[in-house]
Structure 1
């Protein structure tokens, strides 16, 4: 903490740890903005390639978190993203337990909007789970979800990085075909959506035994919405991909009327707070005073921006000691000349 990466990004505190690296809250000294940054130590070529793929996924959509820039220093690489201040759906479940069905419907619709854009770009996310669903700090108002972490996402038209029966993803959300190393398919993401919906209805981490029938449907005003959501889960989590909804748009159509429902009487209050208020932005330290009366020179560190543009951050370099050495040399020459004149 306190380290300045590439002469530009001040590491403030770790936010989360994922399979592809550690997420930090950073201060971008070039513009004074707080951002999120994922840092990966280049442990192997495959991890680095996945990291590069992730930072290259730039889908401009209100419900998708898009990388901003990247930089590399020694054996580590970093890329930045907007800092989403409301935490994740996993945080929300930890604090509130089961969410009201209307909230579940709204969050699911927003997640499916994100997946519409992702799938339209020819990408399968492969790691849809509550921890990768970030929230804007909307308080008790309508939530605003943003899909993040494309570390194991795969473009459908590029080579795969797993072989044979090797599966990759998060247990509990992976469909059977993903477990067995099947080819990426957008319907795999829809299976994960069903599992996420089930977790939001239950309000706890899922187990292998949790199925749609696990959800208890009461007789309160939200019972109809709960039943519809359970039916959606059952459809999305079919073992055979052919039996699931064909597209995210098809799943959204099944939710349309639930999303438009007004809050029922007595609906529990769910609050999405600002977990990173602006007041936590640290003050930049003053630059060190110049040495030997000279301003320090600067060595450039290249940070790469989207679209192939570059920006240059500077790191202070100690001024050379050459002026002092020249003065000493001149003094010695003068002493030799004076001695020669006196003796001559």
Structure 2
């Protein structure tokens, strides 16, 4: 038997690791089932703040995964979530050879928008929409079932700014222009990030993350194929430079291009052999080292835990022209980064230790 954390959660094997800690497959001895659990050490106030924020999110929706329970022992804390067994959109794109067929993009976009509609209706901005945070239930050859996860840097859309200078929070390459320049969190930034994800699923590429997000130029991608160009219509709508010009999640769900493709999932003309297989077994078989003992290596990480780093900028860069980003359609996708900057309003919990965390969670969760 592996380590049993807090007398309840048996650590079976690691699913993903990052600067925030490790995501484990765990056996909940009290509930008698298998869950996913994110464990971290209380190394600094930023991590504590992120833990409190993520643990506090409660959204009951078929396309959203939020924490269920938490536990703390000494300098370690964890919270559990349902185990989503089909990997992530990032892994799906890699297995598909770098790009996805239009009907898959439409189905995944439709479900992500349903998740964002619920998240935004709850007054929350996710701020980290990317392929690694879009998990998949195993459905074999059937229609995929997506679930949005990782609310570690999510904030209420009406939360007042806690710092006196603009800070950049998000994953480079997926941030909206206004998010890069330190604007207050707003749902339109999530819509932009989804547009980048759609573009990446279609072309295997996304804008570079080493500077201000350039305007997305899709003119050269038009192919004359109706399904392909319908996806580009969604990219154009979601990546409008002006956030006021981006449709809401609810409006995008009614977009004619999206509705037409979603309705054609079973069209034989669009059929393919892409699948979402089960990646994580439900039977607890831990080894003493907490690593899988099977002859085959474990599956690729499901959803990498974002790495906390200092903000990439404190003040917005000087204004200037930014060349448009014009993606191509290579056979192999560009590498996907996994950098996420740290929340910089962590001063709220400076000096907090284990006792402070437990008290905060008790007051927050009742």
Question: TM-score, normalising length from structure 2?
Answer: 0.72
Please give the secondary structure, in 1, of the residue aligned with 2:218: helix
Contact 1:25 1:34 in 2 (8 A): yes
Pair 18,152 (structure 1): closer, same or farther in 2 beyond 3 Å: farther
1:44-64 CA deviation, whole Å, 9 max, x = no partner? 223212211111111000000
Pair 47,307 (structure 1): closer, same or farther in 2 beyond 3 Å: closer
Please give the alpha-carbon distance, in whole angstroms, between the structure 1 residues aligned to 2:189 and 2:260: 25
Gaps in structure 2 of 5+ consecutive residues:
289-357
Pair 176,230 (structure 1): closer, same or farther in 2 beyond 3 Å: same
Larger fraction in helix: 1
The structure with the larger Rg is 1
Contact 1:69 1:305 in 2 (8 A): no
Q: CA deviation at 1:215?
A: 7.0
Pair 119,12 (structure 1): closer, same or farther in 2 beyond 3 Å: same
Q: CA deviation at 1:158?
A: 3.2
Identify the match of residue 269 of structure 1 among 259, 269, 273.
Answer: 273
Q: CA deviation at 1:132?
A: 0.2
Provide runs of 4+ in structure 1 moved above 6 Å: 304-307
Please give the secondary structure, in 1, of the residue aligned with 2:94: helix
Please give the alpha-carbon distance, in whole angstroms, between the structure 1 residues aligned to 2:362 and 2:12: 22
Contact 1:35 1:82 in 2 (8 A): yes
Map 1:4-15; keep pairs closer than 5 Å. Answer: 4-15=4-15
Please give the alpha-carbon distance, in whole angstroms, between the structure 2 residues aligned to 1:149 and 1:243: 27
Number of equivalent positions: 287
Map 1:69-148; keep pairs closer than 5 Å. Answer: 69-96=69-96, 97-148=98-149
Map 1:62-73; keep pairs closer than 5 Å. Answer: 62-73=62-73
Please give the alpha-carbon distance, in whole angstroms, between the structure 1 residues aligned to 2:230 and 2:131: 21
Partner of 2:321: none
Pair 163,90 (structure 1): closer, same or farther in 2 beyond 3 Å: farther
Please give the alpha-carbon distance, in whole angstroms, between the structure 2 residues aligned to 1:69 and 1:10: 14
Please give the alpha-carbon distance, in whole angstroms, between the structure 2 residues aligned to 1:206 and 1:24: 31
Pair 145,19 (structure 1): closer, same or farther in 2 beyond 3 Å: farther
RMSD between aligned alpha carbons? Answer: 2.7
Please give the secondary structure, in 2, of the residue aligned with 1:52: helix
Partner of 1:2: 2
Q: CA deviation at 1:18?
A: 4.3
Pair 34,305 (structure 1): closer, same or farther in 2 beyond 3 Å: farther
